[in-house]
Amino acid sequence: MTELLKSIWKYRKFIINSIQRDIVSRFSRSSVGGLWMILHPLVQVSMYAIVLSAVLGAKLETISSDYSYAIYITSGIVAWSLFSGIINSCVSLFIKNANLMKKMVFPKIALPIITLGVNLVNFFFLLIAVVIIFLLLKHFPGPNIFWIIPVTIVLITLALSLGLIAGILNVFVRDVSVVMPIVLQLGFWFTPIIYPVSILPDRFKFWLNFNPMFPVVEAFHDVLAYRNSPDLLSLLSVFIFSLILLFIGFFLFKKASPEMVDVL
């Protein structure tokens, strides 16, 4: 694992330049350039605010706002969009870059790091869009919004570890890329994103303990929706679990990397 980390640091300029090229290429293909990176998430978040609150009139008593339900669901979707985006990008990452892996000499572990960087840029603009919408709804998280930084670190560690393992397995078993969207869809509904935990029967709440995204999404709810500090103890347990998974992912990558090139 130490060697992989050293190779990432050694090729850091290559990684940064690759992230920049990916973002710039998106700009160049659009007539309005990078404006879409703000407009698209802004419209997406606006729809939740309008449809859920203004049209359906859904509210939560725990949030003091006429748009409480929209604020709650938007806070959770911010977290899930980054999580699912990283995993979906990683699943077919090595297959899509097969020619690059065969022709260029560079640490292959740079590919998921580049994907992570691109998704973080998208997340940054989505978060800006959410804050703008919350300001318009007269709901600003306040100083607690800075808790988003450590919470996001926990999230990306979990997502990268799962995405890396899924991407490696997909090289050898192509069904992984077909199954993963189904797993993520089930995970979305199994995580309290569009419904509060309080409405769940007690017999179902127990199973949330086996969902590592539950504490992360709840942390986003705490910070963005409830304007509170997150539960650090539960986040610490998820972070430790994620680090173990990440170590397993790096170990699998190191062992499987030579065979991956041959299979591809």
In a domain, 12, yes or no: no
In a domain, 32, yes or no: no
Query: What is the CA angle 205-191-58, rounded to 5?
Result: 95
In a domain, 13, yes or no: no
Instruction: Tell the burial category of 123 from Cβ atoms under 10 Å away from its Cβ (0-12, 13-18, 19+).
Output: buried
In a domain, 254, yes or no: yes
Q: 205: which 2 tokens?
A: 């709440």
In a domain, 52, yes or no: no
Place of tokens 């590592």: 212
* Number of domains within the chain: 1
Q: What is the pTM of this model?
A: 0.89
In a domain, 7, yes or no: no
> Per-residue confidence of the chain (264 residues) as pLDDT tens digits?
677 677 777 778 888 888 888 877 766 665 655 566 666 666 766 676 667 665 555 567 667 777 788 888 889 989 999 999 999 999 998 888 888 777 776 778 888 999 999 999 889 988 988 888 888 888 887 889 999 999 999 999 999 999 999 999 999 988 899 999 999 999 999 999 888 888 888 888 888 989 999 999 999 999 998 989 999 999 999 999 999 999 999 889 888 887 877 776
What residues make up the domain containing 219? Answer: 77-263
